Structure 1
Amino acid sequence: MNSTPRQFDMFESQPEPVVQAPAPVIAVQKSKQKPETEEALAQQLEKTGNFRILRRLIPRPVISRAESKFDKLAVLIDTETTGLDHKSDQVIEVGVVAFTYNDDGAVGDVVGVFNGLQQPTIPIPAEITRITGITDEMVRGQVLDLKTLENMIEPADLVIAHNARFDRPFCEKLSPVFVPKAWACSVAEIQWAGLGFEGSKLGYLVGQAGLFHNGHRATDDCHALLEVLIRPAGAAKTIPFTELLLSSRKSRIRIYAENSPFDMKDHLKKRGYRWSDGSDGRPKAWWTEIDEAQYADELHYLRTEIYPWKDAEPLAIKLTAADRFKT
């Protein structure tokens, strides 16, 4: 075998190189069809059953009250505070969304929006900043425009808060304009579970309504609550605001089970009674609030299950929307 390497002869005849034909050019015509809208894409995904799309909440436009066709006025109000105790804690933000409605519970238009920050006399606790996003720097030098706020509240037929038992005392501490107003609570006076919701927290309601928003800022929460209140919900397509309005018109009875036996406290607590220590001027006793129509049944329960005597007459106070949710 000859192992001598073969030398390349540049004059030797070489095979012709293979020249490949260029790839054919294919003309691609641009589709004249308009791209699908974001909403159409969202609906397409939802139809598969594998996706649930949340839409960004867009606040409704504000018009003058004179342009609205409804004559009643409601205000949604939310307060952010330094803590939970209205006696010692302070308001750091107030948000209001005012809207019109009629006696049947139909909602008209947004006719006013208010937002204001206020610097407290103490540093904002870190937990409050974490929840609300409000920092000491944001409120430094800020003072609520109470005159503008009062001008919005004064003509209102109804003040609504998502947990009015919390917001009403803080608001009444801010200004006397809130004191005589009729209040409604969108937590306590709407049967959210019956409308298909898993909870009454605003975040749950907004999410299950198919929306998302910048939560825990006062005015943003008011816009979000309005959208939840006016969207049909449940099998019967109930308008939550209509249910809230009807509930707010009903009288309620607050019953104090004074002098009830100590060993009955667990029974009362299980039935929904809460303890009042008497520090706010109320009787020192277990108490509850019920619809006026339920009073006879509740009195029967107390006389037969709690008190050892059948002619017991526990203290009962009739409440209207002007009285409810006070301290």
Structure 2
Amino acid sequence: MSIDVRELRANPVRACRYDARCAPGYRVLRALPPPDCYPVAEAQGPVRTAVVIDVETMGLGIDDPIIDLAIQRIAFDARGVIVRVGQPRQWFEDPGTPIPAEITRLTGITDADVAGKRIDADAAASLITSTTLAIAHNASFDAPRVERRLPAVAGHAWACSCNEVPWPDLGFDGRKLGHLLIQQGMFHQGHRAAADVWATINLLGSVMPDGETALCKLLRQAEQASVRIEATNAPYEAKDGLKARGYRWNGDKRTWWIELVATEQQAELDWLREACSCHQPAVEAVTWRQRHRR
């Protein structure tokens, strides 16, 4: 089909009627399908389950209360292919104080939405603990807040679709949920918990250039044991080198730390000793039952 690109520029709405491949310089984005239209596959091998979780809160602090919690169950097979998608569950919760204007602007959640509402803690916790793991896009934000609100799920396995999928190595630019979706030709209405959960599920089900799903790659990384190394008593002068190497600052413990796969432990201890004069770093074994909590 021959298309006059000048005409499409003058009439962008008409451009959407054409396949993107027919009009160089244009990209057509698809809205995410509704949950009951998700194209599930036939299972191959053992089937496990997970929940995908997202929360919206009153702020960024760990003590800022949750005002919106969404959970959706998925089942996946030995290939990391999603074979079933459950119905989404979503709860508002009244924080007892007015929602800041910035949070309403970001999420669309108003005081009227949450007035008198409560999370069904028993139902939410039961849904989470009935599965192998919980997945969130930025689990270091969601996991500690969910465990604080739902103590019964403490110690459950968590995986992070933001940081435990090697997006740059797969040809993606960035790690933000909406941006990753766009690069997969999809879009969603974000910053509401249920919408972000559904977006994460669709992203996890995406097939990467090598034929594996994003979920397959996430599971491979998240299931590995790792070590958390704290540069205990490292001199102040070492901070720039630590930061450049990927260490993060823990304000509560006032120390720099990094998490690595276990096979990299000795090389890292050698580097700390030689480059930072750090001779007694703290080392802790970590699994997906401890990860993303701090």
TM-score relative to the length of structure 1? 0.80
Aligned with residue 72 of structure 1, among 48, 65, 90? 48
Q: Which runs of 4+ in 1 moved over 6 A?
A: none
User: How far apart, CA to CA, are the structure 1 residues paired with 2:273 and 2:237?
Assistant: 15
1:151 deviates by 2.4
Letter in 1 for 2:98: P
Q: Deviations over 1:272-322 (max 9, x none)?
A: 1112233xxxx43111111111112111111111117xxx23110000000
Question: Who is 1:144 aligned against?
Answer: 119
Pairing 1:1-327 to 2, within 5 Å after superposition: 41-43=17-19, 45-61=20-36, 71-87=47-63, 89-234=64-209, 236-278=210-252, 283-307=253-277, 312-327=279-294
Q: Which runs of 5+ in 2 are unaligned?
A: 1-13
Q: Deviations over 1:68-119 (max 9, x none)?
A: 88631110000000001112x1000001111001233222110232111111
What percent of counterpart residues are identical? 36
Q: Deviations over 1:124-182 (max 9, x none)?
A: 11111111010111111111122221221121101001111100111011112321211
Q: Deviations over 1:181-225 (max 9, x none)?
A: 110011110111111211100110111111111111111111111
Q: Secondary structure in 1 aligned to 2:36?
A: coil
1:62 deviates by 8.5
Distance 1:227 1:305, change over 3 A: same
Contact 1:253 1:319 in 2 (8 A): yes
User: How far apart, CA to CA, are the structure 2 residues paired with 1:72 and 1:209?
Assistant: 25
Q: Secondary structure in 1 aligned to 2:199?
A: helix
Q: Secondary structure in 2 aligned to 1:61?
A: helix
Contact 2:43 2:77 in 1 (8 A): no
User: How far apart, CA to CA, are the structure 1 residues paired with 2:129 and 2:233?
Assistant: 41
Contact 1:99 1:112 in 2 (8 A): no
Contact 1:196 1:233 in 2 (8 A): no
User: How far apart, CA to CA, are the structure 2 residues paired with 1:160 and 1:79?
Assistant: 12
Structure with max Cα Rg: 1
User: How far apart, CA to CA, are the structure 2 residues paired with 1:229 and 1:71?
Assistant: 16
User: How far apart, CA to CA, are the structure 1 residues paired with 2:264 and 2:277?
Assistant: 19
Q: Secondary structure in 2 aligned to 1:253?
A: strand
Contact 1:68 1:109 in 2 (8 A): no
1:239 deviates by 1.3
Distance 1:97 1:146, change over 3 A: same
Contact 2:47 2:78 in 1 (8 A): no
User: How far apart, CA to CA, are the structure 2 residues paired with 1:62 and 1:93?
Assistant: 25
User: How far apart, CA to CA, are the structure 1 residues paired with 2:50 and 2:34?
Assistant: 17
Contact 1:180 1:322 in 2 (8 A): yes
Letter in 1 for 2:272: L
Q: Secondary structure in 1 aligned to 2:242?
A: helix
User: How far apart, CA to CA, are the structure 2 residues paired with 1:258 and 1:154?
Assistant: 35
Contact 2:188 2:199 in 1 (8 A): yes
Q: Secondary structure in 1 aligned to 2:95?
A: coil
Q: Secondary structure in 1 aligned to 2:74?
A: strand
User: How far apart, CA to CA, are the structure 1 residues paired with 2:31 and 2:146?
Assistant: 30
